[in-house]
Amino acid sequence: MSAHEPSIAAPEQEPVRLRFDNTYARLPERFYARCQPASPAAPATVRFNRGLATELGLPDLERARITGIFSGWQLPQGAEPIALAYAGHQFCNLVPQLGDGRALLLGEVVDRNGVRRDIQLKGSGTTPFSRGGDGRCPIGPAMREYLVSEAMHAMGVPTSRALALVSTGESVQRETHLPGAVITRVAQSHVRVGTFEYFAVRGDVEAIRILADYVIDRHGLVGDDGENRYVALLREVVRRQAALVSLWMNIGFIHGVMNTDNTTLIGETLDYGPCAFLDHYEAGACFSFIDQGGRYRYENQPAVAQWNLMRLAETLLPLLDDDQDAAIEQAQDVVGSFPALYERDRLQGMRRKLGLFSEHPDDAVLVDELLALLERQQVDYTCFFRRLSDTAVEPNLDSPVRALFSDPDGWQQWYTRWLERLQQDRGRSTERMRAMHRVNPAVIPRNHAVHAAIRAAERHGDLAPFRELLSNVTQPFTDHPENAPGARPPRASERVLRTFCGT
């Protein structure tokens, strides 16, 4: 990356000490493999998230230290790098051993809010779980994860976050030679449904119990109401997944690879490989190149989430009840609550997007009619809701919204019903507009804008498009110029039809 000169800590410097408190590394050693990151040839810092670093309570690091630590070149004191063991259902097929093939958990810190957070390098070289892979990460997927995870956080979606992006000065062989990078990911936990599956396929009930207790105790997921704590854990995971997927659907996000190894117990979005956002509304939208059958298409995400949760429930059966039939009945009951929880959360989120402060029995019909209209006329999803927000103060000034529709009559019919619904609602128009602006983003990491930023970096070492897009998407609810990256819908020639994971 020609935009930055390599800058790393000199070998004789004392390693930086971070305030690690590593609990996962104290679990039995069958939960992970200890290994070291590879030393990159010529690392250089592309981006460091100082706001997140401050939140984590990290010391004020100079640039050379940032490059050294977050490239894997120099481990900080207190780090205990481990690659986590897990399995996973990938496109319905169980793979009994996956694990961190190109990632290392450096350790855990307790942030300034008292929340325990993992700090993980991704793209730092091979591990015992690499399965013949090179353990590297091209800079494009690392940039995508940085942009999208930080945008999701800014939009209020639970997610892993990006702390640092460092180029390695080495090329990575995929379809062609690409610049390499290491991204540092921060998450409340990297325990996945696939982590439980890893031990279930080995018949290791003791490890499942240890892991379940660890998750419960680390995150305080279970109350003291007398319910079996593992039933309560499953119930809380179901609730969090329903809330998370409803947020994805309401902002038009398509994860693209909802395997069980990418489904976290804590309910954060993890792994931004082939992810994408809707441009025009399309229920069956599918961008991921590896999802040839469309299993993880936009409209299917709630059903897949419930399927993944049932895989988790299966691993927990020995802990739910000594009687297998009773355990199965409890698992089915808990996971069976997912559709109702999801629909409740989705509808409540759509009410907020539509500026509705109260509930009405016909709201679901109003929403469904709108989505059908948007799909039929191929209306840009993000632009529609942002422009609709502006009409809350003055309904007669709807021409910017109307302009999105090829058939204005369909728009007018729905708009009239929406205005009638607002008449039944409490709240003043200015209050309504502000509330709508707080949930309807003006900019998102649009697929074509992300693609353009990646291409500029890969081909020319030009990081300016990445920086500009990052600045915009981390202020999603602020008005930006119509042509700003992330705000402007793609032209026909710019549409991105396929996304790739970069593994």
Residues with catalytic function: 261
Q: Is the distance from CB of 104 to CB of 81 less than 8 angstroms?
A: yes
Of 305, 219, 313, give the one whose Cα is nearest residue 266.
219
Distance of CA 477 to the CA centre of its chain: 19
User: How far is it, in rounded angstroms, from Cα 198 to Cα 422?
Assistant: 51
Q: Can you tell me the distance from the alpha carbon of 216 to that of 273, in angstroms, rounded to the nearest whole number?
A: 28
Residues across the chain: 503
| Numbers of helices and strands, H then E, in the chain | 16, 11
Instruction: Please choose, from the candidates 135, 93, 81, the residue with its C-alpha nearest in 3D space to the C-alpha of residue 261.
Output: 93
| Helices 139-154 and 447-460, packing angle to 10 deg | 140
Of the candidates 474, 466, 462, 465, which has an alpha carbon nearest to the alpha carbon of residue 144?
466
Question: Dihedral, CA atoms, 122, 128, 133, 139, nearest 10 degrees?
Answer: 10
Residue 212 tokens, joined: 């379940």
b/e code 145-181 from CB counts within 10 Å (16+ = b): bbbbbbbbbbbebbbbbbbbbbbbbeebeeeeebbbb
Smallest CA-to-CA distance from 453 within 182, 163, 144, 49 is with 144
Cα gap 18→142, rounded to integer Å = 24
Q: Per the structure block, which two tokens stand in for 41?
A: 């040839």
Q: How many CA atoms lie within 13 A of 34 on its CB side?
A: 8
Distance, CA of 177 to CA of 430 (rounded, Å): 53
DSSP reduced 3-state for 108: strand
Give the residue from 177, 181, 201 showing the smallest Cα distance to 67. 181
CA torsion sign, 354 to 243 to 359 to 438?
Answer: negative
Strand locations in 259-309, DSSP E?
276-277
* Residue 113 dihedral angles phi and psi, to the nearest 5°: -100, 10
Residue carrying the six token digits 């128009």: 429
Using CA atoms, how far apart are residues 440 and 438, in angstroms rounded to an integer? 6
